[in-house]
């Protein structure tokens, strides 16, 4: 427990100190890199909520990541062009306000997750993996061929959306926003993992018969977890879109789902801070290996393989040992 | 005789050509232990599943506390007050003993969809959980993981979790299985007291336990109840002896 | 639309389905026997195609190229099974997904390192070139007919092997109960290596056969892999029969959707939006099929496990 | 080979003395790993060849791999502009990546020279004074194909392309110039590998010819399957599916096919002859279209460096606009929207020994600009 606590603190500390250092030596790109790690971490935390706590192996979380991104893109696009998103039956206008966009991204992602979850949760195991993948693939092909928002070319939003009192185009200020959101999401997930819901969800993952025998329905627990999971990943998608000031169907691709899953597994499945460690490690690998060789994917593959085969439980499993019961 | 709390009326269930339950009537009244015995493959587990939920009978109905619950899910039946223990331990293996008990208390209280308060600091749930664990004698093992428990301790924990639900009836599927002599003896003493809290439908192979504990016994053979009655009647019943007890003692 | 065009398109769908079956058969076998999700199956397909292209380029013989694809893919399969896969059998699906995803990265970039970034040349042999006339005046590619034939032969061979041979009995026993088969004294790790190599060889053969009429390039395995997964999920994972039925269903849905959805929407929409809606919908059609099947049969059409 | 430090050889010396005042720092973001790496490698090699040949010791090139992912490309652009402080960005192969990177990059004051992608928004309303396209506007080669279809006398053509923006642009570009009838128009799935259904449609449509735009592996698959189908209608397409890099993979199936291009290795001008020879000597393979575009991009930039200081943005921009360099395509000029005005040729696929390649058989369009010039406010 103590080891894990120190690891968490160190992780958050480094994630804060590194960009501040980069800011002091005027290396804005490194700040952006740290922001990218944080946004990926949030996406991973979202997936971990379903995968780690609920045992729902979703290979379709790109659906929520992409939806969050497109919420940002579509709203900002209409705000830029002064056209309504929808004229009928009620008029909806675009917006360039980050908090509004986040709320809509969270709400729509949760809604999509309820829809996908309600259908997918009829299956389990590999079938669940594949049906979630199928939903994401459908959205991927749909956005590719949907010309209104750029199709495969995607959509550029030239200026980041606004946040009251901050200049979001300044890398360190945008970083601060993302860091704050990371802390809020971590706090929520940490609380939820120890909450009545967390206890029941974990029990359902371990033994569905047991949770039914105490009078609770696994399906409702799973669906709620899946909705929360989708909402968090959707929020990450909206942040990612603002980070790049750009959206594209790539956000919906199965490689995106795979990468989000890698953050979770690298860090440690079911650990609250696992995806943070996983995302940071992944960004570090991508950044350093990319400079080594044109064929850097080989090294990345070898490292991932090593983690799965020899470091069970990911980084957290390696450093902090077996998970201790929450109490 | 009081009105039965649990009343199974004429249920039948077939799997293809196999009749697993054949027009079964069985009931459970306040304060009693009603034992269900029968050779392997007689259809005891199928019957328990139809009573506890998870398997719908083809015909017939299950009544509980004056209500027809045939169409209800397992979870809904549990909420109405059916406390169940499983033949093969069915616990959250990664959790501690206390967490499993708290889970039961939480499931019974019903406010599962809360995301912010630490559940393991909830005084009400902890009190219920601790009391149940104490009743089965697991108070020393609060912080042990279930995966570290012995077989007998897991059986005790099953019962404790059922207790946290403050059930109106208990359905116990072979609670003595795999317990040593001492463990069985302790559990028998405990069940003897427990019947006054809520009646028990007891599926059990241990004949000593059954004849010591039960108020009534039903004998299930090939999916049908061949006899129901007080212990002495069953012990002396020639049909039962030939169909079941004889076979059992010979085995 | 004419009836003849419909028949021809149905034949195309069948042929596409058989191509998918070649790929899906190995995948479903490996899953059924070992319970392993192998994302790197697409890489074995790619290895088969590259091996065939290299050998055909050096010797000019298509048959030698096919042999090379079988041997190289099987060999790669044995290597991978020995060093990586056998450590994954008792892991959960999550670890398997990540480990075999890592293998994709290694195989893809390794192949690019050896063969370069440009697509390779692989063509069908002269004796399979050209077309034949079928009834109703349908002119059809000889090579595509030949692929249908090979695919059906492979299917028949697999049914025979699993249903009638000693190794098949062991495979079926292994599907049902791993411990039992070990208790029977069968060398389980040898059996697993064999099954994995067989699955790999089938993927390699598919790569070579299909590579002759498609593009032999790095990354060719991933789109087929996803399709193959859709196929085995529809059919029911672990079932060879399911893979065959699923493959043909997917092949028909995709081909007929592509051919007729745009003109179907053209009946009541203006041409340009009919075209784009039809094209979008047809690119989603197989996923819709899969979701539909899983809603009614959560374990696929022939999935009993 | 350390990517990050591929520097024009002489620039090491320049750094050692700290003499950076006159030089130019170039950031190249291109695709060097994964499926589409061949194109990026060619652009890079062509570009670096020109830099080496210039003999200048004050050009530093930083190269990064975008993995063909838009978000990675955006990150790299931020890095190059903010941390590496480059003056010029170049290298992007794909339109969707260009759309993600270019608007933001030029808004931050750097120059962007496109060696391949030319999406229509950047040529029309979204044009920018710091954005120069040295290859073509995306529609150009398709327009040339449409013009060629007229001269070849085709009057009932079947056209197909993948269902994504570049595919729609391609068919629209073709139709802009083509005057005959369409026997059919089909959008295929992006990344599709089996074209039996489309080929059957072509056969049933009664067309007299086929135009297709299927980049990369899709084109290879289509051509092989088409050749095998017994449908022997003439095919035309843009150069992308008939380029040096992939022709060998298509083989005899492509022989005789007409394709349109602004460049060919047999173009008879001094710059091109020297380029083809030196590229082969340096890398041991024939140059591709993409290599020629990379080479031209570098030479354009070098001509501007020679004429003006990159820190004087207006002077440097004027020097770029002048396009005073020896292009491998012969005549080359910029239109007001900073896209090329150039000739488009018709090439035919031929076999030289065991190598498949192209030879010029005619000219499709002369001094052609693009359809979006009037929308550009520059």
Res. A39 pLDDT band, cuts 50 70 90: very high
The whole-number pLDDT of residue C305 equals 46
Task: Let me know whether D56 and D162 are in one domain.
Answer: no
Mean per-residue pLDDT for A94-103?
93
Q: Do D100 and A36 touch (CB under 8 A)?
A: no
Q: How many CB pairs under 8 A join A and B?
A: 117
Disruptive mutation site among D249, D250, D285 for chain C (greatest number of C CBs within 10 Å): D249
pLDDT level of residue D233 (50, 70, 90 thresholds): very high
Average pLDDT over chain A reads 90
Residues B149 and B204 in one domain: no
SS3 of residue A96 by DSSP: coil
Chains in touch with D (3+ beta-carbon pairs under 8 Å) read A, C
Q: Is the pLDDT of residue A315 over 90?
A: no
Question: Could you write out the three-class secondary structure of chain C?
Answer: CCHHHHHHHHHHHHHHHHHHHHHHHHHHHHHHHHCCCCCCHHHHHHHHHHHHHHHHHHHCCHHHHHHHHHHHHHHHHHHHHHHCHHHCCCCCHHHHHHHHHHHHHHHHHHHHHHHCCCCECCCCCHHHCCEEEEHHHEEEEHHHHHHHHHHHHHHHHHHHHHHHCHHHHHHHHHHHCHHHHHHCCCCHHHHHHHHHHHHHHHHHHHHHHHHCCCCECCCCHHHHHHHHHHHHHHHCCCCHHHHHHHHHHHHHHHHHHHHHHHHHHCCCCCHHHHHHHHHHHHHHHHHHHHHHHHHHCCCCCCCCC
- Note the pLDDT of residue B249: 46
Give the range of the structural domain holding residue D278, as residue numbers without chain letter.
Answer: 3-117+268-328
Shared-domain flag, residues D231 and D354 = yes
Chain A neighbors (3+ CB pairs < 8 Å): B, C, D
Query: Does any CB of chain A come closer than 8 Å to the CB of residue C83?
Result: no
Does residue D186 sit in the same domain as residue D103?
Answer: no
Last residue of a domain, one of B166, B189, B210: B166
Render pLDDT for D293-325 as a digit per residue (tens, 0 to 9): 999 999 999 999 999 999 999 999 999 999 999
CB contact under 8 A, D228 and C124: yes
Q: D10-52 pLDDT, tens per residue?
A: 344 334 343 344 689 999 999 987 767 888 999 999 999 999 9
| B21 and B125 share one domain | no
Residue of C nearest to A140 (CA): C284
Domain identity same for D358 and D315 = no
Per-residue pLDDT at B251: 37
The beta-carbon neighbor of A290 closest among D65, D83, D96 is D65
Same domain for D208 and D357?
Answer: yes
pLDDT tens-digit readout, D336-349? 999 999 999 999 99
Mutate to test the interface with A, among D36, D95, D100, D124 (most CBs of A within 10 A): D100
Q: How confident is the model at residue A19 (pLDDT cuts 50, 70, 90)?
A: very high
Nearest to D246 among C15, C119, C218 (CB): C119
Tell whether the model's pLDDT for residue B94 goes beyond 60. yes
The pLDDT of residue D319 is 94
Per residue in D165-207, pLDDT tens?
888 889 999 999 999 999 989 988 888 888 988 999 999 899 9
Q: Please indicate if any CB of chain D lies within 8 Å of the CB of A229.
A: no
pLDDT, position C304: 63
Q: Is the peptide bond before A89 cis (omega within 30 degrees of 0)?
A: yes
Domain count, chain D: 2
For A277-286, B123-132, B225-234, C267-276, which range has the lowest pLDDT when averaged over its residues? C267-276
Number of domains within chain B = 2
Contact (Cβ atoms closer than 8 angstroms) between residue C228 and residue C17: no
Given a contact cutoff of 8 angstroms between Cβ atoms, the answer to whether C193 and C74 are in contact is: no
Name the least confident of A8-12, B102-106, C31-35, D287-291: C31-35
Domain parsing of chain C, residue ranges: 3-296
Q: Which of A54-68, A292-306, C110-124 has the highest mean pLDDT?
A: A54-68
User: A122–C233: do the CB atoms touch at under 8 Å?
Assistant: no
Cβ of A327 under 8 Å from any chain B Cβ? Answer: yes
Q: Which two tokens stand for residue B111?
A: 């406010």
Q: Who wins on pLDDT, C285 or A318?
A: C285
User: How far is it between the farthest Cα atoms of chain D?
Assistant: 70
The answer to whether A292 contacts chain C (CB < 8 Å) is no
Tell me if D182 is assigned to some domain.
yes
A220 occurs within a structural domain:
yes
Cβ-Cβ contacts under 8 Å between A and D: the total is: 100
Closest chain D residue to the Cα of C130, Cα to Cα: D228
Q: Which two tokens stand for residue A277?
A: 């460690």
Query: Domain of D187: which CATH number?
Result: 3.40.50.2300
Structural domain includes residue A177? yes
pLDDT digits (tens, 9 = 90+) for C100-152: 999 999 999 899 889 887 888 888 888 888 888 888 778 888 999 999 999 99
Among candidates A192, A194, A214 on the partner chain, residue whose Cβ is nearest the Cβ of B104: A214
Containing structural domain, residue B96: 91-166
Domain membership of residue A277 as a residue range = 2-320
Residue A238 pLDDT: 97
Identify the domain boundary among B166, B198, B230.
B166
What pLDDT, on a 0 to 100 scale, did the predictor assign at position B246? 53
What CATH number is associated with residue A256?
Answer: 1.10.3470
Whether A206 has a pLDDT exceeding 70, the answer reads yes
A-chain CB neighbours of D99 within 8 Å are: 150, 153-154, 156, 246
For residues C222 and C215, give the distance between their C-alpha atoms in angstroms, rounded to a whole number.
Answer: 13
Indicate the pTM of the whole model.
0.88
pLDDT at A288: 86
Clarify whether residues B133 and B155 are in a common domain. yes
> Would you state the pLDDT for residue B234?
85
- Please give the pLDDT value at position D7: 38
Asked whether residue B118 falls in the same domain as residue B3, the answer is: no
- Number of structural domains (chain A) is 1
Residue B86 domain-assigned? no
Which chain A residue shows the shortest CA-CA distance from D191? A141
- Dump pLDDT digits (tens) for B29-77: 999 999 998 887 788 888 999 999 888 999 999 999 889 999 999 999 9
Residue that has been written with the tokens 């009932």 in this structure: D156
Q: What confidence score (pLDDT) does residue B250 get?
A: 38
CATH of domain C3-296: 1.10.3470
- C276 — contact with chain A (CB < 8 Å)? yes
Residue B117 included in any domain? yes
Distances C231 to A163, B63, C290 between C-alpha atoms, Å? 47, 46, 8
Q: Is residue A72 part of a domain?
A: yes
């Amino acid at each position: 427990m103590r080891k894990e606590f120190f690891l968490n603190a160190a992780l958050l500390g480094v994630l804060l100190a590194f960009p501040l250092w980069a800011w002091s030596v005027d290396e804005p790109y490194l700040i952006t890199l740290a922001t990218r790690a944080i946004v990926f971490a949030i996406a991973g935390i979202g997936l971990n909520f379903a995968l780690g706590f609920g045992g729902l192996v979703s290979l379709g979380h790109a659906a929520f990541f992409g939806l969050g991104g497109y919420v940002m893109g579509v709203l900002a696009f209409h705000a830029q062009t002064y056209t309504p998103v929808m004229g009928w039956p009620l008029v909806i206008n675009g917006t360039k306000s980050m908090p509004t966009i986040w709320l809509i991204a969270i709400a729509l992602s949760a809604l999509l997750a309820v829809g996908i979850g309600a259908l997918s949760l009829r299956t389990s195991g590999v079938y669940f993996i594949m049906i979630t993948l199928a939903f994401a693939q459908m959205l991927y092909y749909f956005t590719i061929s949907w010309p209104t928002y750029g199709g495969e070319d995607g959509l550029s939003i030239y200026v980041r959306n606004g946040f009251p009192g901050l200049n979001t185009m300044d890398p360190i200020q945008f970083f601060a926003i993302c860091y704050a959101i990371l802390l809020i999401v971590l706090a929520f997930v940490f609380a939820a993992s120890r909450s009545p819901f967390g206890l029941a969800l974990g029990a359902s993952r371990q033994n569905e018969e047991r949770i039914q025998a105490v009078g609770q329905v696994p399906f409702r627990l799973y669906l709620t977890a899946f909705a929360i999971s989708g909402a968090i990943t959707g929020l990450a998608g909206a942040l990612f879109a603002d980070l790049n000031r750009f959206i594209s169907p790539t956000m919906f691709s199965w490689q995106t789902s795979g990468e989000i899953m890698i953050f979770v597994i690298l860090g440690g499945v079911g650990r609250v801070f696992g995806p943070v460690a996983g995302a940071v490690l992944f960004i570090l690998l991508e950044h350093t290996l990319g400079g080594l060789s044109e064929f850097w994917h080989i090294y990345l593959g070898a490292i991932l393989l090593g983690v799965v085969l020899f470091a069970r439980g990911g980084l957290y499993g390696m450093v902090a040992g077996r998970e201790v019961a929450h109490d | 005789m009081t009105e039965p709390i649990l009343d199974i009326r004429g249920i039948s269930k077939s799997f293809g050509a196999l009749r697993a339950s054949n027009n079964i009537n069985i009931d459970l009244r306040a304060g009693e232990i009603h034992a269900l015995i029968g050779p392997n493959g007689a259809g005891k587990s199928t019957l328990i599943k139809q009573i506890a939920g998870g398997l719908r009978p083809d015909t017939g109905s299950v009544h509980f506390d004056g209500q027809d619950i045939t169409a209800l899910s397992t979870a809904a039946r549990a909420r109405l007050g059916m406390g169940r223990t499983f033949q093969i331990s069915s616990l959250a293996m990664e959790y501690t003993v206390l967490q499993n008990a708290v889970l039961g208390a939480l499931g019974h209280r019903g406010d599962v969809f809360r995301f912010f308060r630490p559940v393991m600091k909830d005084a009400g749930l902890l009190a219920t959980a601790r009391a149940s664990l104490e009743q089965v004698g697991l108070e020393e093992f609060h912080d042990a993981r279930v995966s570290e428990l012995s077989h007998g301790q897991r059986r005790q924990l099953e019962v404790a979790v059922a207790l946290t639900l403050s059930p109106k009836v208990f359905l116990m599927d072979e609670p003595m299985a795999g317990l040593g002599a001492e463990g069985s003896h302790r559990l028998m003493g405990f069940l003897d007291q427990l019947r006054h809290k809520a009646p028990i439908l007891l599926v059990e192979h241990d004949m000593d336990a059954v004849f010591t504990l039960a108020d009534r016994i039903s004998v299930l053979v090939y999916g049908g109840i061949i006899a129901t009655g007080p212990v002495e009647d069953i012990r002396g019943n020639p049909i039962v002896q030939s169909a079941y007890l004889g076979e059992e003692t010979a085995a | 639309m004419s009836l003849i065009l419909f028949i021809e398109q149905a034949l195309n769908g069948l042929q596409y389905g058989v191509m998918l079956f070649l790929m899906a058969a190995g995948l479903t076998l490996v899953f059924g026997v070992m319970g392993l999700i192998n994302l790197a199956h697409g890489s074995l397909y790619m290895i088969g195609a590259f091996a065939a292209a290299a050998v055909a380029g050096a010797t000019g013989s298509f048959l030698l190229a096919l042999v090379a694809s079988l041997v190289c893919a099987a060999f790669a399969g044995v290597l991978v099974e020995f060093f990586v896969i056998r450590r994954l059998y008792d892991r959960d699906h999550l670890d398997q997904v990540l480990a075999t995803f890592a293998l994709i990265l290694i195989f893809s970039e390794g192949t690019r390192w050896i063969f370069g970034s440009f697509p390779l040349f692989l063509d069908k042999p002269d004796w399979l070139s050209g077309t034949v006339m079928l009834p109703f005046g349908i002119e059809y590619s000889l090579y595509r007919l030949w692929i249908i034939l090979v695919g059906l032969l492979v299917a028949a061979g697999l049914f025979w092997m699993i249903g009638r041979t000693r190794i098949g009995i062991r495979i079926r026993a292994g599907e049902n109960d791993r411990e039992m088969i070990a208790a029977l004294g069968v060398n389980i790790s040898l059996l697993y290596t064999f099954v994995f190599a067989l699955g790999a060889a089938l993927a390699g053969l598919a790569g070579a056969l299909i590579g002759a009429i498609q593009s032999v390039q790095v990354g060719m395995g991933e789109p087929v892999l996803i399709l193959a997964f859709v196929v085995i999920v529809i059919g029911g994972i672990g079932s060879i029969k399911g893979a065959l039925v699923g493959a043909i269903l997917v092949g028909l849905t995709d081909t007929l959707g592509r051919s007729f959805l745009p003109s179907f929407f053209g009946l009541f929409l203006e041409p340009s939006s009919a075209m784009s809606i039809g094209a979008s919908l047809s690119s989603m059609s197989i996923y819709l099929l899969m979701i539909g099947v899983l809603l009614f049969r959560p374990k696929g059409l022939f999935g009993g496990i | 080979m350390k990517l990050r430090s591929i520097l024009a050889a002489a620039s090491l010396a320049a750094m050692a003395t700290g003499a950076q005042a006159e030089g130019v720092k170039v950031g190249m973001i291109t695709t060097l790993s994964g499926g589409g790496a061949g194109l990026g490698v060619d652009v890079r090699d062509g570009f670096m060849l020109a830099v080496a040949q210039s003999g200048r010791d004050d050009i530093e090139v930083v190269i990064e791999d975008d993995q063909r992912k838009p978000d990675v490309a955006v990150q790299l652009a931020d890095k190059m502009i903010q941390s590496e402080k480059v003056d010029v960005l170049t290298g992007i192969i794909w339109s969707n990546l260009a759309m993600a990177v270019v608007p933001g990059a030029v808004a931050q004051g750097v120059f962007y020279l496109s060696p391949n992608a030319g999406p229509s928004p950047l040529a029309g309303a979204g044009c920018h004074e710091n954005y120069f396209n040295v290859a073509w506007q995306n529609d150009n080669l398709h327009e040339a194909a449409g013009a060629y279809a007229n001269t070849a006398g085709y009057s009932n053509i079947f056209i197909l392309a993948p269902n994504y923006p570049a595919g729609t642009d391609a068919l629209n570009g073709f139709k802009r110039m083509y005057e005959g009838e369409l026997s059919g128009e089909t959008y295929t799935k992006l990344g599709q590998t089996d074209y039996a259904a489309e080929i059957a449609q072509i056969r049933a449509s009664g067309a007299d010819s086929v135009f297709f735009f299927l980049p990369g592996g899709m084109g290879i698959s289509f051509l092989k399957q088409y050749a095998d189908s017994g449908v022997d209608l003439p095919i035309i397409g843009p150069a992308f599916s008939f380029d040096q890099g992939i022709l060998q993979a298509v083989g005899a199936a492509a022989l005789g096919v007409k394709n349109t291009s602004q460049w060919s290795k047999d173009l008879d001008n001094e710059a091109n002859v020297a380029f083809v020879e030196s590229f082969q000597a340096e890398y041991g393979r024939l140059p591709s279209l993409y290599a020629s575009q990379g080479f031209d991009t570098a030479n354009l930039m070098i001509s501007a460096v020679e004429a003006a200081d990159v820190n004087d943005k207006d002077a440097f921009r004027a020097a770029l606009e002048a396009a005073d360099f020896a292009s491998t395509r012969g005549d080359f000029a910029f239109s007001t929207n900073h896209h090329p005005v150039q000739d488009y040729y018709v090439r035919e696929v031929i076999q030289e020994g065991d190598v498949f390649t192209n030879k010029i058989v005619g000219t499709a369009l002369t001094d052609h600009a693009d359809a979006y010039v009037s929308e550009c406010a520059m």
